[in-house]
Amino acid sequence: MEFELNLKNKRVRVWLWLMVPAFILSIALFIYLPSGNSVYGAIPLIVSYFIYFGWSKVKNRQTQN
């Protein structure tokens, strides 16, 4: 399977639309939350990671049929 890393590829665009805002939100949470609650800064990244790979799996099944 060949993978193109440019913005014409829909997977790259979806990844960017999900991960860039999640990354910015995570950085803001790490900065502004107290040190005891800084683990909550990883939640947006984890959630967006699972959303992307769930979407990717559904997309693969649709293209195979």
Q: What is the pLDDT of residues 21-30, one digit of tens each?
A: 999 999 999 9
Confidence of residue 43 (pLDDT cuts 50, 70, 90): very high
Q: What is the mean pLDDT of the chain?
A: 88
| Percent of the chain predicted with pLDDT > 90 | 48
Confidence of residue 3 (pLDDT cuts 50, 70, 90): low
**Residue 17, phi then psi, degrees to nearest 5:** -65, -30
Query: Structural domain boundaries of the chain?
Result: 10-64
Cα 4 to Cα 11, 13, 38, 40, 59: the distances in Å are 9, 11, 35, 33, 16
